[in-house]
Amino acid sequence: MKNNCLFLLAVFLLMQCSSKEATVYTPVPYTLEVPTQFTNKLIAPIIPANNPLTEEGVALGKKLFFDRKLSGNNTQSCATCHSPQKSFTNNLQFNEGIQGILGTRNSMPLFNLAWNFDERFAWDGKEVGLEKQALEPVRNPIEMHANWETVAEKLQASPEYPDLFLQAFGSSEIDSVLITRALAQFERILISGNSKFDRYLNGETTLTPQELAGFNVFMDEAKGDCFHCHGSDNNPLWTDNKFHNNGLDSNFSDLGLGAVTGDTNDNGKFKSPSLRNLKFTAPYMHDGRFATLDEVIQHYSEGLQPSATIDPLMKKVSQGGVGLSPQEKANLKAFLLSLSDSNFVNNPAFRE
């Protein structure tokens, strides 16, 4: 009799345990708020079938993004280098990892990542897919320098995370796969599409004469010719998400894409970043060498360095560039700043 009772009790307890995961949670689909000009001008964003956006997944991803437990000594989170107030980068040329070692690349701003259709992330394109990209900084010895198993154990031991994972993914067994899926969900909702120029295109505001003149410099093949790599009024991403050698150096201390592909023809190529939110994202270039936008414009106007892999779209290289006048430079700068989206950097939904 006693044995029978124990058996029934065990069966009852087992049912309690298993039924929780099997029946309690169905994540709520997350509705992405896509700006009108994105819907009208671009193809649909990439949302992987194995990681659909859900309210619970996005909320969990946000919590993880700001959680220092993801670093080896609990001192750094993703947001340490990717601050919402700075369009998800920061204003340092390079960042120190948890052990005080300085990196060699400027942290990239994060927004509109679901529209990166080649899905090659980072300055050199070494990470394919947002979920896979999220694996890298955590285990990078000069960044967050953690062990993914240890990170998962820390989260598993916390009082709140197991339930949050259960709600988001139907499993309270935390591992790097689910953590990076949640992080990627949060990153995919970081959409910036409400700059002054966006509102101008939507007929909601006007540009100053200087901003309009700067836009013409941007679009003029004989002047800035920026549009071939950096989008246009018809490509509101303001990047082609491709890799170019934009004439920074004649000799490369950092091979960029070339180190990833092993193809010497890719040496010195880096991803063309979006020109949105430049107001918040200084310093500029993959190595943060330019402290100001004026320096950036000066580079394209007069500072191009020849090399075997310089992009043919870089014009008049032998003369250093196209030689914009001071007025044209000022106009171009005014236009570029009109692509900055204060609503994005101040969005409380993206803050800790």
Partner 1 sequence: MRVLLFLLTGLLTWSACSSPEEAQSANVAIRFSHNWENTPVSAADFNILKFTNDNGEMLSIERLRYLISNVILTNLDNETYELSPYQLVNLGDEEVSIESTQVPAGDYKLSFVFGFTDTENIDGGYPDLNTASFNVPAMLGGGYHFMQFDGKYTAQNLPPAGFNYHVISAVNTADPNNLIFQDTSFKVDLGVVSISATTEIEIKMNIAEWFKNPNTWDLNVLNTVLMPNFDAQILMHQNGKSVFSLGTVQE
Contact residues toward partner 1 (CB under 8 A) are 40-43, 115, 117, 216, 219-222, 225, 227-229, 231-235, 237, 240, 265, 306, 308-318
Least Å distance, CB 265 to partner 1, is 4
Q: Which two tokens stand for residue 6?
A: 């124990």
Q: Which is nearer to partner 1, 182 or 237 (CB)?
A: 237
Q: Which is nearer to partner 1, 161 or 227 (CB)?
A: 227
Q: Which is nearer to partner 1, 80 or 338 (CB)?
A: 338
Q: Which two tokens stand for residue 30?
A: 């997350």
Least Å distance, CB 320 to partner 1, is 13
Are 240 and 313 in contact by the 8 Å Cβ rule? The answer is no
Least Å distance, CB 210 to partner 1, is 17
**Alpha-carbon distances of 317 from 50, 52, 100, 222, rounded to whole Å:** 46, 46, 39, 14
Q: Which is nearer to partner 1, 126 or 315 (CB)?
A: 315
Q: Which two tokens stand for residue 143?
A: 């960044």
Least Å distance, CB 235 to partner 1, is 5
Q: Which is nearer to partner 1, 173 or 263 (CB)?
A: 263
Burial of 93-121, coded b for 16+ CB within 10 Å and e otherwise, reads bbbebbeeeebebbbbbbbbbbbbeebbb
Residues facing 96 on adjacent strands: 102
Least Å distance, CB 116 to partner 1, is 11
Interatomic CA distance for residues 198 and 204, integer angstroms = 9
Least Å distance, CB 221 to partner 1, is 5
Q: Which is nearer to partner 1, 109 or 231 (CB)?
A: 231
Q: Which is nearer to partner 1, 46 or 142 (CB)?
A: 46
Q: Which phi and psi (to 5°) does residue 237 adopt?
A: -75, -25
Interatomic CA distance for residues 83 and 180, integer angstroms = 18
Quick one: which of 300, 159, 306, 311 has its CA closest to 226?
300
Are 300 and 294 in contact by the 8 Å Cβ rule? The answer is no
Least Å distance, CB 133 to partner 1, is 21
Q: Which is nearer to partner 1, 202 or 347 (CB)?
A: 202
Least Å distance, CB 294 to partner 1, is 24
Residues facing 244 on adjacent strands: 270
Q: Is the peptide bond before 283 cis (omega within 30 degrees of 0)?
A: yes
Q: Which phi and psi (to 5°) does residue 244 adopt?
A: -140, 150
- Angle of helix 148-157 versus helix 130-139 axis, rounded to 10: 90
